[in-house]
Amino acid sequence: MAANSTQSHSHHGHDHNGHDHHRHAATPEEALNAAAKTCEKQGLRLTDQRRDVMLALAEAGKPLGAYDILSILTLKGYKKLAPVSVYRALDFLLDAGLVHRLESRNAFILCPHQHGANETVIFLICESCGRVEEALSEEVKGTLSRIASHHHFALKGQVIEMKGQCAVCISQPMVA
């Protein structure tokens, strides 16, 4: 189900609130360059295919399913790309912390931050327009770590999904 309501917001990136330090400020190219540097630091190889999957996500600026990515890449000229190739590229990008997976939507989103692979990330998902913002919280991370260690549980990076309404939708209710 392609959310047709997401389109209306995609053109005006900046909204009424000027204090948007969690916004995707980087252009797709900047995002890719930052990712390439992160890979270099970790000794990982950003192949053309991985790079192109990232570029598709960067240009979309919103979560995409694996098959959305596949069809974008097919349009870009990858004639015989198998779904498994996209999944492999996504697995790599997930492990590297460059991309996150939104369980609830079975979709992938480019990480706008340069944080470690095992970071705890929080997604604020707007149920009205589909906008997704990523936030980091040392407090939440600390709380989860304490719970885990109490249970002698080895915690991996967590993705927390919060649902509600974004600032834009609160200030200007849209007709669905």
Binding site for Zn ion (CB under 5 A): 111, 113, 121, 126, 128-129, 131, 166, 169
Shorter beta-carbon distance to Zn ion: residue 81 or 97: 97
The closest of 26, 50, 23 to 36, measured between CA atoms, is 50
Residue 142 vs 164, nearer CB to Zn ion: 164
Taking the complex as a whole, the smallest distance from the CB of residue 84 to Zn ion amounts, in Å, to 25
Q: Which of 70, 90, 92 is nearest to 80 (CA)?
A: 70
CA distance 89 to 48: 10
Who's near 39: CB < 8 A, 6+ residues apart? Answer: 45, 46, 96, 98
Minimum CB separation from Zn ion for residue 97, in Å?
6
Least Å from the CB of residue 176 to Zn ion:
11
Cβ closest to Zn ion, residue 60 vs residue 81 = 60
| C-beta of 52 vs 120, nearer to Zn ion | 120
Measured distance CA(96)–CA(100) in Å, rounded: 10
Q: Are 39 and 45 in contact (CB under 8 A)?
A: yes
Residue pair 97/157 in contact (Cβ under 8 Å)? The answer is yes
Least distance from Zn ion to the Cβ atom of residue 164, Å: 9
62: number of Cβ within 10 Å: 19
Rounded Cα gap, residues 64 and 74, in angstroms: 15
Q: Which is nearer to Zn ion, 81 or 92 (CB)?
A: 92
- Output the smallest distance, CB 143 to Zn ion, in A: 18
